[in-house]
């Protein structure tokens, strides 16, 4: 049956229409089911947030279908960010895989598990380009680079929504690009803080991932909590209407963030709740998430003539279209308790993929004297707070994930007789403030010691900003005491943000950046440690040396006085280096790769092909990420000192050569002016090719863009 939405809208009363615009987070009703069941009966709710239980969802759906006049089905939404039952690495970690195929796959599995639990719509992916590690939500992002946020965002949306965004299959979810716009630029890295971003920067850094999401067919966009240039993002008409709707041509659903409409009064922008609703609906905000203000004030505003019925109907049309795209008019119960249970047979398969992604998300930062991988002949001790502490890994948006389902390093290593889990060492050290004598002897007897430290998963995420992002002193002192008895230290870091590691670096012969990896943590780590899997992750966010360097990111503008150690007045700190601890794009392997040659051919005017021949000159097979940056001097605007515009991840066997093709078109080189128009400067460009942002200059190819219609 094909539902006629206009016909349905014409049959709806004003109250029924307003009900559709109301999204209810169950916690605002104290989680009491009877309260929100009544709301459904009264037709006062169009969608729910945070019902993750198929029985409960279907019960509410039944009320909507059987006890309301027009039987309009409900939508159930949830933040399915990096898994549902099977938990994948946090998005920041996933982005370090530089593997869009795997990232799409993780979104597909998350969608499948969530859809079977009765969910229709996920509030993901988060597309906030994140350049401040103090901000806790950097964990939810794809890092500091706009291009990476763009392509990983696209992969997630495709994975969540499936092939056809007009018809979301039963095992997929509607996606939501969030937070529009500028949320991650919060001053001082403090969550929810105000932002002030120029149009040029908005156009080039923050908007492109959203443009691509819209082109990919994302069905919804969520506004942000921050104020932007003096106006709260949730009612910023310039950004929501002029830019998002008109310029970027977004015709889907715009949903506010949780209670954000009511908070515009606290921002000091709106005078009262009615004012907030008037401004929000006039900025084309379709759904009010959990402030309940649309329910209370829309009717009065319509009666006063401050909001038109046409405006209301446009919002209703978008919401009903989402319900139609989800197939809810034909099949309101997309899943059942049985279907959910049956899927569990596939969880071991899902976990294998979670492991594959976790392995590719791990970044090897340091490996002096090839201390890694450990061999079967090495007697290895493992110590630290996070070797068997399952709950430490249940992180931001862990959804339905259970601590018990997380495989720890201790569990994964149990069958390796050369690996010794020294579980009590850290607990005793905490108790006595020093290493136990017997433990010292045991640690001394090891060939290598693995120390697992960092942050608990609950230390990053929403409202988890930190003013101090150094490894904590208890852990620093622990490493130092171990180093007194055994210097063969391999440090594993679990964290949801880049940490300042300068104090532990000198004591760590190797460092593995393991982030928060989800369900398959232990297995993935074990494979990396033992060399069964060769590490291939690359940083997608710069690791600073000092907190005072923040914001520090690779693609900054030059100054007129760049740092020069031989000159006095140059851009630097007098008390700290300007270099990061580890740069964007960086990550080691157990083998070595060499770009043996590159070649350029011109296909036609303003279209080139580059071939890169890469050789694995070490003794392990492995994957490498070849990165292509552009650099342009002289144009209509200053451009960054280099910008990532493409990359390829490739598997190369030891001793073999692989050839990679890069296509360079005007699209590769384009950027935006402050009116959000795409432009390309003509003239000479340098294309820089390498396996990190810092060594790309060694392979430089020059091209010249000829003037044509889109260039100036
Ligand atoms: C977050 C959003 C999230 C929403 C619903 C808010 O606090 O900022 O990202 O989608 O809650 O859970």
Answer yes or no: is pLDDT of 708 > 80.
no
Answer yes or no: is pLDDT of 47 > 90.
yes
pLDDT of res. 33: 83
Cα R_g (the chain), whole angstroms: 26
Kindly give the number of the ligand 1 atom that is closest to the alpha carbon of 140: 9
416-461: per-residue pLDDT in tens? 999 999 999 999 999 999 999 999 999 999 999 999 999 999 999 9
CA distance 323 to 77: 12
Given pLDDT bands bounded at 50, 70 and 90, which one contains residue 30?
Answer: confident
Kindly give the number of the ligand 1 atom that is closest to the alpha carbon of 126: 9
Structure token pair of residue 552? 């520090």
**Closest Cα to atom 12, ligand 1: which residue?**
79
pLDDT of res. 395: 73
**Closest Cα to atom 2, ligand 1: which residue?**
257
**Closest Cα to atom 5, ligand 1: which residue?**
258
Instruction: Select which of 145, 257, 395, 681 is catalytic.
Output: 257
Reference 596, options 652, 541, 556; nearest CA is: 652
pLDDT of res. 709: 65
pLDDT of res. 35: 87
Answer yes or no: is pLDDT of 1 > 70.
no
482-522: per-residue pLDDT in tens? 999 999 999 999 999 999 999 999 999 999 999 999 999 99
Q: What is the full DSSP assignment across 365-429?
A: EEEGGG-PSP-TTS-EEEESTTSS-GGGG--TT-TT--GGGPPPHHHHHTT-TTEEE-TTHHHHH
287 C-alpha to center of ligand 1: Å? 14
Kindly give the number of the ligand 1 atom that is closest to the alpha carbon of 124: 10
165-214: per-residue pLDDT in tens? 999 999 999 999 999 999 999 999 999 999 999 999 999 999 999 999 99
Residues within a 6 A CB radius of ligand 1? 49, 79, 123, 178, 257-258, 462
pLDDT of res. 396: 84
575 C-alpha to center of ligand 1: Å? 40
Helix (H, G, I), strand (E, B) or coil at 327: coil
pLDDT of res. 581: 98
Counting beta carbons within 10 angstroms of the beta carbon of residue 376, is it exposed (0 to 12), middle (13 to 18) or buried (19 or more)? exposed
Answer yes or no: is pLDDT of 532 > 70.
yes
For the question of residue 257 being annotated catalytic, the response is: yes
Angstrom distances, CA of residue 312 to CA of 10, 126, 232, 301: 12, 28, 22, 11
252-301: per-residue pLDDT in tens? 999 999 999 999 999 999 999 999 999 999 999 999 999 999 999 999 99
């Amino acid at each position: 049956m094909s539902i006629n939405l206009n016909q349905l809208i014409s049959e709806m009363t004003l109250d029924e229409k307003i009900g559709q615009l109301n999204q209810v987070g169950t916690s605002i009703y104290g989680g009491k089911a009877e309260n929100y069941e009544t709301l459904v009966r009264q037709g006062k709710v169009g969608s729910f947030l945070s019902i993750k239980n198929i029985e409960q969802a279907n019960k509410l759906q039944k009320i909507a279908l059987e006890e309301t006049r027009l039987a309009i089905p409900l939508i159930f939404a949830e933040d399915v960010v990096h898994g549902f039952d099977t938990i994948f690495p946090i998005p920041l970690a996933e982005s370090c895989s530089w593997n869009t195929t795997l990232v799409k796959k993780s979104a597909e599995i998350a969608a499948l598990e969530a859809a079977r639990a009765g969910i229709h719509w996920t509030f993901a992916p988060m597309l906030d380009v994140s350049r401040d590690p103090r901000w806790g939500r950097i964990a939810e992002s794809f890092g500091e680079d706009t291009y990476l946020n763009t392509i990983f965002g696209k992969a997630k949306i495709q994975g969540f929504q499936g092939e056809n965004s007009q018809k979301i299959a039963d095992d997929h979810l509607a996606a939501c690009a969030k937070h529009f716009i500028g949320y991650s630029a919060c001053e001082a890295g403090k969550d929810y803080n105000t932002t002030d971003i120029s149009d040029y920067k908005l156009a080039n850094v923050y908007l492109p991932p959203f443009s691509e999401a819209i082109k990919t067919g994302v069905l919804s966009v969520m506004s942000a909590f921050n104020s932007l240039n003096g106006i709260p993002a949730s009612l910023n008409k310039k950004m929501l209407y002029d830019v998002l709707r008109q310029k970027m041509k977004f015709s889907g659903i715009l949903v506010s963030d949780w209670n954000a409409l009511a908070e515009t009064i606290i921002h000091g922008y709106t005078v009262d709740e009615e004012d907030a609703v008037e401004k929000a609906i006039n900025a084309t905000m379709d759904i009010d998430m959990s402030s309940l203000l649309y329910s209370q004030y829309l009717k009065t505003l319509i009666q006063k003539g401050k909001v038109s019925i046409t405006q209301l109907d446009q919002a209703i049309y978008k919401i009903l279209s989402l319900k139609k795209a989800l197939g809810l008019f034909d099949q309101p119960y997309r899943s059942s308790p049985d279907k959910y249970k049956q899927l569990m047979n596939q969880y071991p398969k899902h976990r294998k993929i979670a492991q594959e992604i976790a392995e590719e998300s791990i970044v090897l930062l340091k490996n002096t004297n090839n201390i890694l991988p450990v061999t079967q002949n090495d007697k290895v001790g493992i110590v630290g707070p996070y070797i068997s502490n399952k709950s430490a890994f249940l992180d931001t948006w862990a959804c339905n994930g259970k601590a018990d389902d997380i495989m720890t390093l201790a569990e994964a290593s149990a069958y390796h007789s050369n690996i010794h889990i020294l579980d009590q060492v850290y607990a005793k050290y905490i108790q006595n403030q020093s290493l136990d004598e017997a433990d010292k002897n045991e640690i001394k007897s090891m060939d290598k010691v693995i120390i697992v430290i960092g942050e608990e998963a609950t230390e990053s995420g929403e409202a988890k900003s930190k003013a101090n992002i150094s490894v904590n002193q208890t852990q620093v002192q622990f490493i130092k005491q171990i180093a007194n008895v055994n210097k063969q230290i391999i440090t594993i870091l679990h964290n949801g943000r880049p940490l300042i590691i300068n104090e532990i670096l000198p004591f760590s012969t190797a460092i593995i950046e393991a982030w928060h990896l989800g369900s398959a943590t232990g297995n993935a780590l074990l494979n990396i440690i033992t060399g069964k899997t060769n590490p291939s992750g690359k940083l997608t966010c710069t690791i600073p040396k000092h907190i005072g360097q923040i914001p520090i990111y690779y693609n900054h503008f030059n100054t007129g006085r760049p740092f020069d150690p031989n000159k006095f007045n140059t851009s630097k700190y007098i008390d700290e280096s300007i270099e990061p601890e580890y740069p964007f794009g960086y990550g080691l392997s157990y083998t070595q790769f060499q770009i043996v040659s590159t070649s350029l051919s011109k296909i036609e005017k303003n279209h080139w092909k580059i071939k890169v021949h890469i050789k694995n000159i070490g003794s392990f097979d492995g994957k490498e990420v070849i990165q292509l940056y552009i650099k342009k001097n002289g144009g209509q605007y200053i451009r960054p000192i280099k910008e990532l515009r493409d990359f390829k991840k490739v598997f190369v066997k030891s001793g073999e050569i692989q050839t990679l093709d890069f296509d360079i078109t005007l699209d590769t080189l384009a950027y935006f002016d402050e009116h959000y128009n795409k432009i390309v400067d003509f003239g000479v460009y340098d294309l820089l090719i390498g396996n990190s942002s810092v060594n790309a200059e060694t392979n430089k190819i020059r091209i010249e863009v000829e003037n044509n219609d889109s260039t100036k």
